Amino acid sequence: MPSTHDWIDSPLVTRLFFVVSAASQNSPNSGWEAKAVEFFKERLKEKDAHTWVPSLNDVPLHYLKPNSLVKFRCLIQDMFDPEFYMGVYETVDSSTKAKVFRSIYERCVVDFSSTNTVTAERQTFYCVPIPGENSWARVIPSTSYVPSRQKRSYEEDEEMDDMDAQPQKQREPQSAGPQSPSEHLGNNDSKRLETEAPSGSTVSSSHINLNFPLPGEKGPSCLVKVYENWDCFKLNDTLEVYGILSVSPALSALADEKEASSGVLDPTESMETAEEQRVHSPPASLVPRLHMLYAAPLQHNNPLLPKESKAFCFLSSSLGEMASVRAELLSYFTHVLLGDALSAEYLILHLISTVYSRRDVLPLGKFTLNLSGCPTVSSYTERLYQIIQQLVPSSYYLGMSLQNMNHMQLVPKKDYVANRLVSGALQLAKNTSLFLDETKLEQGQLDTTGVRNVTALGNLISWQKVDYDFSYHQMEFPCNINVLIVSEARSLLPSDCQVHVHSQVVPSDMEEYLGSIHIHSQAFSQLNKLRIYLSVARLLDYSISEELTKAVEDDFVDMRKDDPQSISAEDLHRFSSVRRVATKNLGQTSLSRDMWLRAKDLEAQRTSRMEQHTCVNGNEP
């Protein structure tokens, strides 16, 4: 059997072990593929085995060994059309003329007339790093691999080259991304490790649109080849993919030859246009190929939490500390929100909320928060975003200026010429924090694009879905994005909950005050506790007993009796969301009578404040 290092450094040798075993049985259909995949899965279950595997997110591409086992934490940005390849074929040995079964192409002649040839189908996903992943979530390494510069030879890559070069194209995908005027704010060293090969050895990425959903993103994109169970994956899924890396320059050469000859070939020889070939066969030095062996869906992308297999034990051990950590976070947010403890409470509830189910078209658990009354001086809202950015794994700041609304592409759009999905800023991973800054609003006219973008934001907030543009029709894609709106008055966009920030302190120097709430590097251990708390609280299960369900229903009936106009369907949904997150934010997994009373009290305080504010500001809706 292969040794411990073989299955990472030389997975093709490991795979060949199973191929030879199948050949010795004189049967190409002996199930060797399933046995090989199962071998890798079992190895990855060993203690800390996943940390031995180098990560494309952490290690520059030119430091990785070609044809080695790597992992990639990513989002499925596009799904190409299926393609065919020769899964098993015979080769003719030039010296003995003997025929043997092969599944890895080597330097030999393929017998295309063989009746033993097996044509197989595979799927290709275009995958990008998780959009908006914050610098603190990236700098914590997910691998113990120590990189060393690798030299790649043509011979060394040839086996994997042919795995890419063999397919007879059925069609492929979609990809490309807009560059928006807005930027991530406060991302001090917001840069990914260099993953392109050194200058002089690759094509400049400036000539190729890598189709990142968010402007300014960097990192490796990958063409992930999927050989089984591709129906289990969906667009926008976040995965950790384990597979065999292929980065041969020969792949780019093949694409160049196809593009150069596309103008003179018979149209029946190729179903691809030149533009489609260029998009679907980018240089491997910029977009490496990854042949999937195994992929694990990601429940979260917080590197401070363990993998799913250990998550339950970790969550159980964390419950005892959650109340004290929450008290620290509440104190911190109260200081940030100018002494407003009620707004701080609701901000915590918002950050741990998540869509847990859907009933018909209604997403249950969503909790879009509108913090109105935010100061507009000294870039207060940008500073607030920077603080949230330091606490959540993924986030994106969108200043709702007229320029941004009229020029950004928020909704992904199908490009039929290149046969790809052009990404948009709302193609985000689940539980991404989207920060909408309405204090940037200004007088002016929204054009057609602006109206479409505002409508898309409203649909995202209300229904947790984005309608992708396929030119002739729209297609709904459900999402799970935490939307926080900051504004001076009530937001123009819908929200599940509005809290008017009531400043308890009026600093004479806002810049100095904002500087005082910065968490310095020496407090990183405290910061990590807050990061863990928010992720754990979101992942906790929640239940409610039948007895308490009856009591809550009776309370709702009584409230409607007292004032039928005060309780609407939206109010019932908000109460349901508040009681759920109010329970989980204290580390509890089932609603108690005390938690229900606390949720009612929070809502009573918020409603009272909003009524007082409306009386003072009669023009407020």
- For residue range 418-465, list pLDDT tens digits in order: 999 999 999 999 999 999 999 999 899 999 999 999 999 999 999 999
Q: What is the mean pLDDT of residues 11-38?
A: 60
Beta-bridge mates of residue 543 = 590
What does the DSSP assignment read for 198-253?
PTTSS--GGGS----SSTT--S--EEEEE-S-GGG--TT-EEEEEEEEE--HHHHH
Res. 321: pLDDT tops 70 = yes
Q: What is the mean pLDDT of residues 328-341?
A: 94
More confident residue, 263 or 384: 384
Neighbours of 281 (CB within 10 A): 21
- Confidence (pLDDT) at 116: 76
**Measured between alpha carbons, how far is 515 from 519 in angstroms, rounded to an integer?**
9
Percent of the chain residues past pLDDT 70, beyond the cut: 75
Tens digit of each residue's pLDDT (9 = 90 or more) over 117-134: 778 889 999 999 999 999
- Confidence (pLDDT) at 507: 80
**Measured between alpha carbons, how far is 224 from 208 in angstroms, rounded to an integer?**
18
Q: Where are the beta strands (DSSP E) in 420-558?
A: 420-422, 433-437, 465-469, 474-478, 482-486, 497-500
Beta-bridge mates of residue 70 = 243
- Confidence (pLDDT) at 44: 80
- Confidence (pLDDT) at 585: 92
Torsion angles phi and psi, residue 432, rounded to 5: -70, 140
Strands 357-359 and 238-246: unpaired
Sign of CA pseudo-dihedral 380, 382, 384, 386:
negative
Written as six digits, the tokens of 551 are: 């009591």
**Measured between alpha carbons, how far is 369 from 371 in angstroms, rounded to an integer?**
6
Q: Which range has the worst mean pLDDT, 6-10, 171-175, 393-397, 555-559?
A: 171-175
Distances (CA, A) of 564 to 551, 556, 615: 19, 10, 21
Contact assessment for residue 433 and residue 354, using Cβ atoms and an 8 Å cutoff = no
**Measured between alpha carbons, how far is 576 from 552 in angstroms, rounded to an integer?**
10
Which SS3 state, helix, strand or coil, does residue 606 take? helix
- Confidence (pLDDT) at 191: 40
Tens digit of each residue's pLDDT (9 = 90 or more) over 69-119: 999 999 999 999 898 887 777 777 644 434 444 434 555 677 778 787 778
More confident residue, 521 or 559: 559
Q: Which range has the worst mean pLDDT, 299-303, 312-316, 580-584, 616-620?
A: 616-620
End-to-end Cα distance, the chain = 72
Which homologous superfamily is 343-520 in?
P-loop containing nucleotide triphosphate hydrolases (3.40.50.300)
Confidence of residue 535 (pLDDT cuts 50, 70, 90): very high
Q: Which range has the worst mean pLDDT, 203-212, 562-571, 592-601?
A: 203-212
Q: Which range has the worst mean pLDDT, 43-52, 318-327, 371-380, 485-494?
A: 43-52
Torsion angles phi and psi, residue 44, rounded to 5: -70, -15
- Confidence (pLDDT) at 506: 82
- Length, in residues, of the chain: 621
**Measured between alpha carbons, how far is 155 from 162 in angstroms, rounded to an integer?**
12
Sign of CA pseudo-dihedral 521, 523, 528, 530:
negative
- Confidence (pLDDT) at 254: 54
Contact assessment for residue 580 and residue 365, using Cβ atoms and an 8 Å cutoff = yes
- Confidence (pLDDT) at 581: 95
Q: What is the mean pLDDT of residues 158-177?
A: 44
**Measured between alpha carbons, how far is 177 from 428 in angstroms, rounded to an integer?**
13
Strands 69-79 and 238-246: antiparallel
Give the orientation angle of helix 341-351 with respect to helix 308-336, to 10 degrees: 160
Instruction: Please tell me what DSSP assigns to residue 485.
Output: E
Model-level pTM? 0.85
- Confidence (pLDDT) at 389: 95
CA dihedral 563→565→567→571, nearest 10 degrees, is -150
- Confidence (pLDDT) at 94: 46
- Confidence (pLDDT) at 199: 36
Written as six digits, the tokens of 367 are: 């909790």
**Measured between alpha carbons, how far is 168 from 132 in angstroms, rounded to an integer?**
36
Which amino acid, 513?
Y
CA angle 420–425–426, rounded 5-degree value:
95
- Confidence (pLDDT) at 195: 40
- Confidence (pLDDT) at 147: 63
Please name the residue that has the structure tokens 């964390």.
318
Tens digit of each residue's pLDDT (9 = 90 or more) over 224-234: 999 888 999 99
Res. 18: pLDDT tops 70 = no
Sign of CA pseudo-dihedral 13, 15, 17, 21:
negative
**Element (DSSP H or E) covering residue 372:** strand 369-372
Q: Which range has the worst mean pLDDT, 6-15, 352-361, 427-436?
A: 6-15
* Alpha carbon 395 to its chain's center: 10
**Residue 521 CB burial class (10 angstroms; 0-12, 13-18, ≥19):** exposed
More confident residue, 180 or 480: 480
User: Residue 64: which of 290, 218, 239, 283 has the closest Cα?
Assistant: 290
Strands 420-422 and 413-415: antiparallel
User: Residue 488: which of 454, 455, 442 has the closest Cα?
Assistant: 442
More confident residue, 195 or 344: 344
Neighbours of 469 (CB within 10 A): 19
Contact assessment for residue 493 and residue 458, using Cβ atoms and an 8 Å cutoff = yes
Contact assessment for residue 351 and residue 534, using Cβ atoms and an 8 Å cutoff = yes
Which SS3 state, helix, strand or coil, does residue 432 take? coil
**Measured between alpha carbons, how far is 298 from 430 in angstroms, rounded to an integer?**
10
